Structure 1
Amino acid sequence: MSAPDIIAIIKKHLHRVAPEADLETLQPDEDLGRALDIDSMDFYNMMVALSEELKVDIPEEEYSTLRSLNRIRQFLTESVNK
């Protein structure tokens, strides 16, 4: 799966937890919690949804390192393309 495909999936799930956010202005390295004003439960729900859709394991221990669009994309690209 390509990086643009994964970005589209991430943004789909971000839109579900932050429907009012303008994802087109989101900077790739911004902290998603601060930029989109999402709490830890919203973030958790998004990560679970990504894991289920892409059929990859995202260990909860990794969540603290997956705080930006770029970092999530990188992790998922590596996991999906194994």
Structure 2
Amino acid sequence: MTDQDIRQAISEELERIAPDIDFGAVDPTSDLREELDIDSMDFLNFITALHQRLGIDIPELDYPKLTTLDGAAAYVAKTLGESAA
């Protein structure tokens, strides 16, 4: 899965949670909860959606690594890379 594929999957799952957001305007280094004005339950739904869609385990201790678009993409890429090895 390429970085573009990963970012597309992340964006699609976030769009399900915050459908009115222009993702082209979202700063990839800013906290998603603040940028998208989502609460902790929405963020948990995002984590769960990534787990289900991509088949990756995301332990609760790793949730802070997924708070930005760049962080989420890097985490998913690393996790997918490790599971493929």
TM-score of the aligned structures, taking structure 1 as reference length: 0.95
Question: C-alpha displacement at 1:65, in angstroms?
Answer: 2.8
Q: Does the CA-based 8 Å contact 2:65-2:75 persist in structure 1?
A: no
2:28 paired with 1:28: yes
Gaps of 5+ in 2: none
Aligned-residue identity in percent:
38
Pairing 1:71-82 to 2, within 5 Å after superposition: 71-82=71-82
Gaps of 5+ in 1: none
Q: Does the CA-based 8 Å contact 2:18-2:38 persist in structure 1?
A: yes
2:8 paired with 1:8: yes
Measure, in 2, the Cα distance between the counterparts of 1:60 and 1:52.
15
Partner secondary structure for residue 81 of structure 1: helix
Structure with more relative contact order (C-alpha pairs < 8 Å, separation 6 or more): 1
Measure, in 2, the Cα distance between the counterparts of 1:57 and 1:18.
23
Q: Which residue of 1 aligns with 2:42?
A: 42
Q: CA RMSD in A?
A: 0.8
Q: Which residue of 2 aligns with 1:66?
A: 66
Question: C-alpha displacement at 1:62, in angstroms?
Answer: 1.1
What's the CA shift string for 1:40-74, capped at 9, x where partnerless? Answer: 00000011110111111111111123210000000
Question: C-alpha displacement at 1:27, in angstroms?
Answer: 1.2
Across the two proteins, how many residue pairs are aligned to each other? 82
TM-score of the aligned structures, taking structure 2 as reference length: 0.92
Measure, in 2, the Cα distance between the counterparts of 1:2 and 1:9.
11
